[in-house]
Structure 1
């Protein structure tokens, strides 16, 4: 893989702002009563779709630290084919996929929106949608920069 300019390092003020946005969204999710593991699943799934190895690695490790099972992480890309994910998680993953694929779909289908607003409060829905938005921004920076993986922490 070719070495590229690291966009976050090249414009640290912007990087600090996106990190601050991330922290705001994380607090909103916590304040809305969302399980942090659900938010990590959102981050991982969007990162899988965007092909961001750095973010898949980071958020999989973060999810494991929060107690997420390896089995669910292994099966996340095939979540529709299992009964391992709750109704809220399924709605969050469906919303995340729709938002991540906007360049193809041009919309979040009404049924996806309706299912998400059925299982989430307004505050929770907002937090999930913002979490998907922020991780998509991070993915675009990481993929464009070919952000290298950190050393294996073992």
Structure 2
């Protein structure tokens, strides 16, 4: 097997440092008060949907360091069919998918289920986290940032 070189289009952080720092600040604020494992599951799932190789690589490493198991990481793309995720995690993952695939909308069913498992502050933080990971994914996919192209 031979790796295919994918050339990055630009170094976004060098070209637009103020924007990059603003997204970093939003990311830090969005993480406050959220469980580290749940946080990484959400970021991995959004990154899988958005096909962001850089973020998938980054967040799976962080998930492992936060205590996540390989089996759950492997099954994350099929979480609907897996019995390994809690009701709270499933609610967060459903909201992640709805917000990431926004043209389909966030249904009342999905939102209400998330609101059942997260208080208002936690839900606001979760929404901000999903918003932020989608921003990172779009930035990295557009500029072709991949693992090893830092």
Residue in 2 that maps onto 1:16: 21
| Inter-partner Cα distance in structure 2 for 1:70 and 1:77 | 13
Cα distance between partner residues in 2 of 1:98 and 1:66 = 25
Query: Aligned pair 1:36/2:41, yes or no?
Result: no
For these two proteins, the number of residue pairs brought into alignment is: 144
**Match of residue 133, structure 2, among 97, 117, 135:** 135
Partner residue, 2:30: 25
Shift of 1:6: 2.4
Q: Under a length normalisation based on structure 2, what TM-score does the superposition of the two structures give? A: 0.92
Aligned to 2:97: 97
TM-score using structure 1 length: 0.90
Q: Tell me, which stretches of 5 or more residues in structure 2 are unaligned?
A: 1-5
> Could you tell me how far 1:66 is from its partner in structure 2?
0.6
Deviation at 1:130, TM superposition (A): 0.7
User: Could you say which residue in structure 2 is the equivalent of 1:52?
Assistant: 52
TM-superposed deviation, 1:9: 2.3
- The corresponding residue for 1:122 is 120
